[in-house]
């Protein structure tokens, strides 16, 4: 096993093959697709192809890997899979009750933070400023919640209300690697980081250092145990529409390695 510096504890240790996006999500997708998950790339010249890629890279030592898994990942995935907490379907979204919102918001932050450190090509666009990276590292190291006033996570439930559109079930097997959006705060611009997981769409806002973003009624506040997760129409997400559109074109022009 390669020995290097763990990005969380900064100790010299053998590093594990860490997954930026939890491996169980990939395992679920690959299993349902009988090992033939389809990868749609946003790049114009990359053909539609089968994929078994789960984007692992050597980032964390064993103990830190377990820390992230136990403190954030396991619980959050259980909530998203309906194993922890209670859910009810409401007109405006899915209502979660009896959940630990702190863990879910910090789980999303751990994904983005790991993506920042990963050398895998698909995460190259994910960059976090040094001060915020360090703030996140220290919070994850001692399992301290990220500041509620600066880091905001909005979680949406994906849906498609068009006729003959995507089913709710199909969204669970749809995974988009993280990407960045540019936002404006007064005259300062700042990034938000977007990811889809298990049929949910998350946006993590990291404001300029020392500033806070005005509260959005829908953010995952770390002081409550419930959350009304609003619906978002998949075709209202420009980045997804762009990737789908580009890949429909590829299909038409034969830029595809998938046998139909
Ligand atoms: Zn470590």
Q: Note the pLDDT of residue 3.
A: 66
Confidence band of 222 (pLDDT split at 50, 70, 90): low
Distance from the CA of 55 to the center of ligand 1, in angstroms? 19
Confidence band of 214 (pLDDT split at 50, 70, 90): low
Average pLDDT over every residue of 104-109 = 95
Distance from the CA of 78 to the center of ligand 1, in angstroms? 24
Q: Note the pLDDT of residue 73.
A: 95
Distance from the CA of 222 to the center of ligand 1, in angstroms? 26
Distance from the CA of 187 to the center of ligand 1, in angstroms? 38
Give the tens place of pLDDT for each residue, 44-100: 788 777 777 778 889 999 999 999 999 999 999 999 999 999 999 999 999 999 999
Distance from the CA of 59 to the center of ligand 1, in angstroms? 8
Confidence band of 223 (pLDDT split at 50, 70, 90): confident
Q: Note the pLDDT of residue 217.
A: 61
Q: Which two tokens stand for residue 68?
A: 């992230």
Give the tens place of pLDDT for each residue, 118-134: 988 889 999 999 999 99
Distance from the CA of 232 to the center of ligand 1, in angstroms? 37
Q: Which two tokens stand for residue 240?
A: 């997804």
Q: Check: CB of residue 246 under 8 Å from CB of residue 253.
A: no
3-class secondary-structure state, position 7:
coil
Q: Check: CB of residue 215 under 8 Å from CB of residue 231.
A: no
Give the tens place of pLDDT for each residue, 4-32: 999 999 999 999 988 888 888 878 777 77
Distance from the CA of 22 to the center of ligand 1, in angstroms? 18
């Amino acid at each position: 096993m390669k020995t290097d510096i763990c990005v969380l504890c900064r100790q010299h240790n053998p590093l594990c093959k860490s997954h930026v996006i939890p491996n169980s999500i990939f395992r679920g997708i690959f299993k349902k697709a009988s090992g033939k998950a389809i990868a749609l790339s946003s790049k114009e010249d990359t053909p539609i192809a089968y994929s078994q890629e789960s984007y692992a890279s050597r980032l964390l030592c064993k103990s830190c890997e377990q820390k992230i898994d136990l403190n954030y990942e396991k619980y959050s995935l259980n909530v998203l899979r309906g194993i922890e907490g209670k859910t009810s379907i409401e007109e405006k979204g899915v209502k979660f009750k009896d959940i630990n919102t702190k863990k879910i918001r910090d789980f999303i932050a751990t994904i983005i933070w790991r993506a920042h450190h990963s050398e895998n090509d698909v995460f190259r666009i994910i960059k976090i400023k040094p001060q915020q990276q360090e703030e996140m590292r220290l919070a994850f190291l001692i399992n301290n919640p990220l500041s509620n006033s600066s880091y905001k996570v909005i979680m949406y439930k994906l849906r498609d209300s068009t006729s003959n559109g995507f089913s709710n079930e199909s969204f669970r097997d749809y995974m988009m690697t993280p990407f960045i959006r540019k936002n404006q705060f007064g005259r300062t611009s700042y990034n938000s980081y977007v990811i889809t997981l298990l049929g949910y769409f998350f946006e993590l806002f990291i404001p300029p250092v020392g500033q806070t973003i005005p509260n959005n009624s829908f953010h995952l506040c770390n002081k409550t145990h419930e959350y009304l997760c609003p619906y978002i129409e998949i075709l209202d997400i420009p980045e997804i529409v762009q990737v789908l559109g580009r890949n429909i074109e590829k299909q038409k022009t034969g830029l595809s390695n998938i046998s139909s």
